[in-house]
Copies of this chain bind each other. A is one copy, B any other.
Amino acid sequence: MNKTFEKLQPYLDKAMAFQTARNLFEWDDQTQAPFEAADYTSKVVGILADEYMKCLVNDDVKKLVKKLQEPKEQEELTQKEKAIIKELSKTLKELESIPPQEYKEFNELTSISNRAWAKAKKDNNYEYYAPYLKKIIEYKKKFAGYRAEKNQDSYEVLLRDYEECFGIKDLDLFFEKIKIEIVPLLKQVSKKADTIDKSYNYLKYDIEKQKEFCRYLSGYIGFDYNKGVIAESAHPFTLNLHNHDVRITNHYLENNLESAMFSIIHEGGHALYEMNIDDSLTQTLVGTGASMGMHESQSRFYENIIGRSEAFWAPIYNKLVDTYPENLKNISLEHFIKGINKAEPSLIRTEADELSYPLHIIIRYEIEKMIFSGEADVEKLPQLWNKKYEEYLGISPQNDAEGILQDTHWSFGEFGYFPSYAIGSAVASQLYAKILDLMPFEDYLREGNLTPIREFLRDNIHKYGATKNTNQILKDVTGEEFNPDYYIDYLKNKYEKLYEL
C-alpha cells in the first residue's frame, strides 16, 4: 500500500466507525427506540456527529489528501484508493465549507423543524411550519453559496450533492420530455380508469399473513437473511451498516394488499444493491451505492419492471391466492396484473402509480428551482403547489396536509433530492432495454429463476459500489450515458398496451 494512504487509513476507519454507529442509532430510532429516549439519545448522536467531523476535518487529513492528489502519489494508488480519495475530498470540501457554529445551528434547526413539520401536517397548518421552512431555505442558500463556483446557481450545487452527473440543464431537458409525452398520456389513461377494477385490493388482509408473504417475496427476489433483517417502521426504508448488514423495513395496512408487497420488493431492490457490493470495498467511503439516483434505479427496477410484470407473478400468483382465498379466488392473474398497474392521477407521491409518479417529481423540482432563484416566496408555496397539481395531474389537494406538507424532505433541509427518484426510474428503463437485448428476461421470470438477472446487476452495477458514478455505470453497461428516451418509450409502450390506446 502507498505510504501516504496508509497514514490516512486510521482516520478513515474512525470516521467509518462513528458513521456506522450513527446509522445504527438512526435505525434504532425508526424501528424500536422508546418514545422518551429521543431527547437524551440525541446528545449521544450529536457527540458522534461531532467526532465524525473532527476526525475528518483536521490539518493532518487535509495534508494527506492534498498530497494523495499529486500525480506522483496518484500513480501509486489502486482504482479503489483513487475513488476513496475523490470521495473524501468531496466530503471534506462539503464539511469544511460550513463554519462549525452555523453547522450546529442548522442541525438544531432541522431537529426542531422536522417536529414542526410533523405537527403542521397533523394539524393541517402550513402557517405554523412556514417560518421554520423559511429559515431552513436561508441556511441552505448560504451553505450552497459557500461552495458555489463562479456564476453557479445554488440549487445546482444542491442537485450535484445527490447526483454529480445531473445539473439543472440536464433535468430541465429530461423533465420537459416527460411533460410533453406523459401529461397527455395520463389524461388519456384517466378517461379509461373504469376499465380496470382494483376494488379487491382494499378488502381486509390479515397482517400476520401479509408479513409472512412479504418475507417470502423478499427471499424470492434474493434478499439474503444472513446479511440482512426486516423490521417495521412508519415509512419503509433501507439502511446499511455495511454490505453484510443491510436492513429494510416495511409497514402493513390491513385494507391495502399492494402497499406492503411492493414496498418490500422496492426496499429489497435497494438491499440487493448494498448486499452485492464487493467485499474489497466494505466499510470504505465507496462501499455503498453510487448515488441516490442509481439506488432508486435498482429499487424501482425490482418494484416496477420486475415486480409489476405478468411474468414475475405467473409462477407465484397461486401462492398469493392461497394465502387469501376469500378475497382473491375470483381474481384472475390477468385481473391482478391490471390492478397492480392501474394508473390514476392522485395527490400523494409515495402512493402514486408508475405513470403519474414522475409528474409528482416535476412539481417538486420546479418549485425547488423557483425557491432558490427567489421566484417563489415561502408564503405562496401552497398556492403554487396546488396550481401545479391542477396543471400536471388535473387534480387539486383539498388541504395542505395532502398538498405542500406531504413530504418530510424539506424539513431536514433536503432540497435537490426529489429528482433522484425520477432519475432512478429512467435509469431503470435504460438498463432494462439493454437487459432485454442480452438475456431471455421474461423467460427467466416465468421460470421463477431470478438468479441470472440478479447476477447481471451484481456484476455490472452493484459490485462497484461508489467507485463509478451514474453515467460511468450506464456507459459501461448500455454503451451510452443517461438517455431519458428509454423511460418515455417504456411508459408509453406499457400504458398504451395496458389501456388499449
Q: Residues of A with Cβ closer than 8 Å to B?
A: 13-14, 16-17, 20-21, 24-25, 28, 32-37, 39-41, 43-44, 47-48, 51, 225-229, 231, 241-242, 244-246, 282-283
Contacts and interface: CB of A to CB of B under 8 A. Distances in A.
Q: How many copies does the complex hold?
A: 2
13 contacts: A13-B43, A16-B47, A17-B51, A20-B41, A24-B24, A33-B229, A34-B227, A34-B244, A35-B226, A37-B227, A40-B245, A44-B241, A44-B283
A115 to B, nearest CB: 17
Contacts of A33: 229, 245
Contacts of A44: 16-17, 20-21, 241, 283
Contacts of A35: 226-227
Contact of A245 (B13, B41, B244): B41
A48 B21 contact: yes
Nearest to A43: B283
A241 B229 CA distance: 22
A44 to B, nearest CB: 5
Interface of A is mostly: helix
A222 to B, nearest CB: 15
A79 to B, nearest CB: 22
Contact of A226 (B36, B47, B242, B244): B36
Contact of A227 (B20, B24, B36, B246): B36
Most buried by B among A37, A48, A228, A241: A37
A51 to B, nearest CB: 7
A34 B21 CA distance: 16
Given A20-B41, A21-B24, A41-B242, 18 more contacts: A13-B43, A14-B51, A17-B44, A17-B48, A21-B48, A32-B229, A32-B231, A34-B227, A34-B245, A34-B246, A35-B226, A36-B226, A36-B227, A36-B244, A37-B227, A40-B245, A40-B283, A43-B283
B34 A226 contact: yes
